[in-house]
Structure 1
Amino acid sequence: MTHFVEEFPGRIIKTDKGEFLYFGGTAYLGLQTQLEFQELFIDNIKKYGTNYGASRKSNIRFSIYEKVEQYLSKLVGSESCVTLSSGYMASQLVSRFFTSEEYTCYHTPLTHASLFQAEQQFYESYEQLQEDLNKNPKNTIPIVLLDSIDFIGNNYPDFNSLKKMDLSTTILVVDDSHGLGVLGAQGEGIFKILKQLNAKELIVCGSLGKGFAIQAGVIFGSSKRIKALTNTSFFGGASPASPASLATLLEAEAIYTIQRKKLFENNNYLSKKLSNYSLFTKAGNHPTFTFMDEKLTEYLFKNNILVTSFNYPEKNSPLMSRIVVSAHHTKKDLDVLVKIIDSYILLSDKS
């Protein structure tokens, strides 16, 4: 069911079908409507303007880009990085770069569309991917592309399927849109975890909008790879991220720390409450609870709770629903959610 809104959905969402307690979306730190964060953003808009439409290759350049990229590289643990206008642009730049005959691309199950080019498809199973990877043409470099968070636990936190592969000759490309700003003690995401897999090369890309609450994307990798990516016409011909957004990311570290602590507490609280229910799948410490029971989604809706629910990855795919915990939720919100889920389980057991 589609719901239309006229304002940003926080812990409460107002739709054309009424008002609901909202456990969906990707505003993990709850910052998009947080007053202190908004004021910081507005101050930076006054300084840098609402938008900057020139190429990063222009003769006039904001120093904020290099400052933020140095900060993010240090945070994540990569040699270098570059920012772009969105996570989709970041993933597309990387995936487009590897479309020549020099490379063979392998997309793991449930890889996000941002890492695809025309006619490419993902594998239904890691077993089939492994089989084909073993047969990889010897004159091409294999590229394995995946999402760090697939919401059913295949990848993060253990990456067990990747651990079974010999990645010594493989370039690993990972979209960490749902991990950046969210996972790790400082929101560094999963770069350091993936480094332990000892791939020939590691590239991590993704959105800064979900965890850091700004409109921007980023690519992490070696200095050599980042230089090659930024020397493409795709990068040079595109407008960059808003300098006001990036300045806000740099200046909001204290706010991020506070909100991330709240998120961890909420996630841990709900995890303990729902740990006995087999209908939920949880990917490590990520603050999402995935389920495939359409009747539960309907029951929550009837009890004024709205969750993320849509057919994924295609319109003919099974309906995938997930409860998303955010820093802006209160303990009372979580208790209400658990009470309704408990009542649904009780009714299901009786029927």
Structure 2
Amino acid sequence: MPVSPFDWTDDEARRRAGAGLVRSLRPRTAAPELLDLASNDYLGLSRHAQVTEAAVEAARHWGAGSTGSRLVTGSTTLHADLEDALARFCGFEAALVFSSGYAANLAALTALTGADSLIVSDAGNHASVVDGCRLSRATTAVVPHADPDAVRKALDGHRGRAVVVTDSVFSVDGDAAPLTALAEACRESGAALLADDAHGLGVLGEGGRGALAAAGLAGADDVVATLTLSKSLGSQGGAVLGPARVIDHLVNTARTFIFDTGLAPAAAGAALGALRLLRNEPERAGRARKVASELYERLTGAGLTAVRPDAAVVSVRAPSAPEAVRWAADCRAAGLAVGCFRPPSVPDGISRLRLTARADLTERQIVAAVATVVDTAPRTAS
């Protein structure tokens, strides 16, 4: 019998199982079955009536799909309205919407650099940033986490184009990047700062305008932001924000813009509806941060090891990958959905439960969630 060219995948599956790193899909039903502290719906807008109605209205008016790439038939006045609203809300000159935050990061990194460029990337950056660095053909220097002096050292002596890229809020531990200090390091060398504000938008800054607005960097001519519409805005898609000339350059050169189908109208409509709601209810941002702080205080007060949250992510350390999997499964069996982060998703190799605060959680839900995490914790976790 001939050997299958995919027999090697069985060996890989056994290796993953032995290391406690098996991942599987778990389809959920439309009706919420669990208390959700696993999603990134920080403001509780994915099911908000105004947001879902905006999606429905957009689909009725524009159809189910965008029908093509943005440069052919995929751009609508709805996309233009969303880009204008994002730029104004976040404090930037212009914005460009993509089909995902992943595509936005790939676009920014590949279009703003090249073979003669240097990218200085934080060791804790998201996988989409890592992949953007790889695809850019630029020389990439990976520097220690949240270390502006290491950034300075990496930039020292470089004379060509340079971009320093960082998550604004890191998705694993929920800690914030030192954006002000990073901007200073960039300006000393004439480098650009690119910040992925996926986990800052809607949570940080006045009324949720994001980490760059909070740092006073929004709208600067040497700063570019990427973000996603799928977290605080409860929709789907991504965007790049920055100077108008940068956005124009992306329209003409970014492959994940030129060759990808435009964002579906329903997603664009939902994101626009969420932005309007957030402008009218700016207190949601502060509430999400308050819930995160309460979760942290109660979990650490019970003896668990957690990272103090700078935004809406609360990371709780697990003894090992298999223990993290069991812990998350026990939480689920008790009615609570939590994230389970293991290698290779965590750059430091430490497995964690990842809890996401939501602005719409009640005090009773917070108490129940903490009790479940504590009651199911491995003995070695405390």
TM-score, length of structure 2 as denominator length: 0.76
Change in 2 beyond 3 A, CA 1:152/1:67: same
Q: Secondary structure at the match of 2:36?
A: strand
The equivalent of 1:174 in structure 2 is 195
CA displacement 1:294-317 (0-9 Å, x = unmatched): 457745643523311122554783
The correspondence of residues 50-61 of structure 1 with structure 2, limited to 5 A, is 50-58=64-72, 61=75
- Corresponding residue to 1:122 among 142, 146, 155: 142
* 1:71–1:266 CA distance, 2 compared to 1 (3 A): closer
Secondary structure at 2:338's aligned position in 1? strand
Residue 367 of structure 2: aligned partner = 335
Letter in 2 for 1:141: R
* Alignment CA distance shift 1:165-1:312 (3 Å): farther
Cα separation, 1, equivalents of 2:285 and 2:24: 26
2:111 aligned residue (97, 104, 115): 97
Q: Shift of the alpha carbon at 1:283?
A: 3.4
2:204 aligned to which of 180, 183, 194: 183
Aligned equivalents of 2:250, 2:212: Cα separation in 1: 19
Partner of 1:290: 315
Q: Secondary structure at the match of 1:204?
A: strand
Decide whether aligned partners of structure 1 residues 195 and 60 sit closer, same or farther in structure 2, where only a CA change above 3 A counts.
Answer: same
Aligned ranges for residues 277-316 of structure 1 at < 5 Å? 277=300, 279-284=305-310, 286-294=311-319, 298-299=326-327, 301-303=329-331, 304=334, 305-314=336-345
Matches within 5 A, 1:1-351: 2=23, 4-7=25-28, 12-13=32-33, 20-58=34-72, 61-115=75-129, 116-118=132-134, 122-125=142-145, 126=147, 127-135=149-157, 137-138=158-159, 140-150=160-170, 151-152=172-173, 155-156=176-177, 158-159=178-179, 162=182, 165-168=185-188, 169-196=190-217, 201-232=222-253, 234=255, 235-253=257-275, 255-256=277-278, 261=283, 264-265=286-287, 267-269=289-291, 271-272=293-294, 274-275=296-297, 277=300, 279-284=305-310, 286-294=311-319, 298-299=326-327, 301-303=329-331, 304=334, 305-314=336-345, 317-340=349-372
Answer yes or no: is the 8 Å Cα contact 1:29–1:260 preserved in 2: no
CA distance in 1, matches of 2:222, 2:113: 17
Question: Alpha-carbon deviation of 1:319?
Answer: 1.3
Q: Which has the higher helix share?
A: 2
- Where 1:106 maps in the other structure, the secondary structure is strand
Distance 1:312 1:171, change over 3 A: farther
Q: Hey, what's the Cα distance between the residues in 2 that align with 1:212 and 1:323?
A: 18
Query: Do the aligned partners of 2:100 and 2:236 also contact (CA within 8 Å) in 1?
Result: yes
Q: Secondary structure at the match of 1:203?
A: strand
Question: How far is 1:192 from its partner?
Answer: 2.2
Would the alpha carbon gap of residues 146 and 264 (structure 1) be closer, same or farther in structure 2, given more than 3 Å must change? same
In the aligned structure 2, how far is the partner of 1:346 from the partner of 1:257? Answer: 42
DSSP-derived class of the 1:46 partner: helix
- Answer whether contact 2:58 2:269 (CA < 8 A) is retained: yes
Instruction: Give, in angstroms, the shift of residue 163 of structure 1.
Output: 6.2
Q: What secondary structure does 1:118 align onto?
A: helix
SS in 1 for 2:359: coil
Structural RMSD (CA): 3.4
Aligned partners of 2:176, 2:260: CA distance in 1, in Å?
32
Q: Using a 3 Å threshold, how does the CA distance of structure 1 residues 306 and 207 change in structure 2: closer, same or farther? A: same
Specify the SS of the correspondent of 2:226. strand
Q: 1:88 to 1:269 in 2, by over 3 A?
A: closer
Deviates more, 1:191-200 or 1:307-316: 191-200
- How many residues are paired up? 339
- Per the alignment, residue 16 of structure 2 pairs with none
Q: Label 1:236 to 1:301 Cα distance change in 2 as closer, same or farther (>3 A).
A: closer
- Give 1:17's aligned residue: none
DSSP 3-state at the match of 1:58:
coil
